[in-house]
Structure 1
Amino acid sequence: MRRTHFDADHLAFRDTVSRFFQAEIGPHSERWRHQGFVDREAYLKTGEQGYLLMWAPEAYGGLGLTDLRFEQILLEENVRHGDLSFYMNLHSRVVAPYLGAFGTEEQKARFLPPAIRGEKILAIAMTEPGAGSDLAGMTARAQDMGDHWLLNGTKTYISNGSLADVIIVAARTAPESRHGIGLFIVEAGMPGFKRGNKLRKIGLHAQDTSELFFDDVKVPRSHVLGDPAKGFFYLSELLAEERLQVAMGSIAHAQVAFDITLEFIKERMAFGRPVGSFQHVRFEMAAMRAQIDAVQAMVDHCVMEANAGQLTAVVASEAKLLATELENEVMDACVQLHGGAGYMEEYRIARMFSDARVSRIFAGTSEIMKEIIGRGLGLDERKART
């Protein structure tokens, strides 16, 4: 399907980006999977190209490039030629925008330039052992001590948790309110801040995921993002684009799996003929082709809605739900079409199958996405009880 939302500038950008990921990121993928994390050098090289925080104003060293289509291209080419575990989009488009949207001029001047250069890696800490998608259920606490805030709590499943130099931590500031949450900037080396072991996962083996511990961490007032009572609303405001980021990556991942499988079934023989020549296989591939094209069209539409500042939480949830569910359906079908080879880690499709599973969980589970969409229809259980 021809994707009409890209113009000549985007296509030229894709060519350049594709060469970068093929030369600088992809060749290291296997080694990163074995060591369990991406080299910091990857962020530095990407920063040198201007590919980190492209939206940031030129005054801080960014490109001032706010068109999300360029970010979409970066994400797609990283999925195809780089490494899905290289979470540059988390760094650039999920975490950094909190600094850009809610940070003071001093905070932006301090944290954005090194993040743009790839010298400081960013992470955000929301999830807790007892509170996942329910942000209002978090128990981490931040107490106002006058000249600083005292932060205590535990966070888990934090992407970039081992490598991050700057972490935005969500913590409860008003115990009497479910929505009384603040966002605090914690830097590596602050007394009381410790990292747990890198967590072992069934996929994304090159992506570092950790537990983080905060024991009486003194957070200066200069490290509070915006109003310390409005963090819940800040998180809600930016979660829509985070979910779109997941949708963009998931549909790109599905497309790559489809392409790999198409080549495989053309060459693999069974009963003296290519596997792809059997009607059942053709029908399987045809159904996937139609579904991928349909969801890709929706994701591309959402990118344009985001560019126009009109992407809603409900539509972003729809895109994430459809893209991640389809991604996993495609992975399962493609592994099956590879036969025994699909179960061998030497084949990329096996690794992709494991990597894909988390997309239906992070940034809000599929069940949470359905809840948000359902509430958008006026089907709110709480209202029905009143």
Structure 2
Amino acid sequence: VGMFSIGLRPDRRRPSQLRLNDFMPTQLPDGSSNLRKLPSTFDLDTTSIAPPNEKTNENESILIQQNNTTKTRCYLERNQILKWYDSYSSTTKSMISDPANRAYILATVPIYDECLRDNYELQVWQSYFKMGIEQKHWAKEVTQRTKTCYDVVNCQFIRKKINQLVDNIVQADATIFDVQVQLIRYWSHRNSENHQTIESIEKQILEYISQCTPYVKKMFQGRIELAKVEIEEYKALTDFNQIATPAQFNFHFVLESKVKQCSMKNKSFVMVTKRAEYDLLPKFIEKMEFSFKIDESVMSQEDVQVMYDQMRKITKDYRTQMMALYVRSLAREYELLSSEIKRTVELFPQDKDQGFGATAGHVAFKHYHELREKRLNLEVEQSLYFLEEIQPMKISSITS
């Protein structure tokens, strides 16, 4: 019944049971008055909470508290889910109108979302493992975690990571299956003949998540692509070091710091430009505010309001101008550094040095430099995805 193909094993620790009734409205028509009301401490955004009458151990209690303090992605909020289902199509509107379907959807959307991300994450680490074994090169993300390039350590780390992700997927599948069983029992108890199938409800949930997170798949694919480019760049650098003349090697060494500086400027420029697009001001600009106190005992309430409105407008205009100037400043810094690097690369030594031929070294450096720029651009792209998570979802509808 579940969407995940990994089977359940009896030795796995089952998650705290998620009860469908916890997501039911407090009042349901026709014989539903015996349903348990939503506890006051219940958090709809938490995917694993024990019922009030069940005991949880100390670790589980701590986990629940940590989950409650975690900021929820905006598209997983109850109001956003209901809004999409109500406006997307007549099918989804009919689906969400049923109290049992609504309870199931609200209970499982966060679980599906997290499990889909775990599936993507699993594929990433499987790719890292394959690259490390076959290409004899570990992705930067791996070595940053393990602080080493030793095969044994990295293999152990990745295997542990993969096992954790598999456990997460298995537990999510078990939780979803439990809630599906409760939904089917509810339908049977109500003798409902017009209910949607589990498959159709699941299909709409996945459609909802897909529409809200078009960037997620690109984000995980980008990590794999970045790791592949890192391998190519490393091999190109190795080839260059083997055939470079002393002058070419010194040239490369001097240019390296300038390239890193330019990359940081590019990252700042792209990040701030994206923030301006999303109207997310940096803190040092957001804190700027023009305001002063008005003696309301002298002026009329209408005049006071006009003054305060003008203050807010001046503040808004000032922030907008500051942001525009900040973007232009970063753009200019990046432009100057980028132009300087381009001119410097054109001056790369191509003459013989101490009896060494320079043509092959020049070709090798050019190839390496192109791969380095590609890798740096991919790193900049990866740094932007977190901004997508905090954007309010845009609801689109279909004709059905």
TM-score category of the 2 structures, normalised to the smaller one: under 0.3
Bigger Rg over Cα: 2
Give the number of the structure whose residues are more often helix, by fraction: 2
- Given the two structures, how large is their TM-score scaled by the length of structure 1? 0.26
Structure possessing the higher relative contact order (Cα contacts under 8 Å, 6 or more residues apart): 2
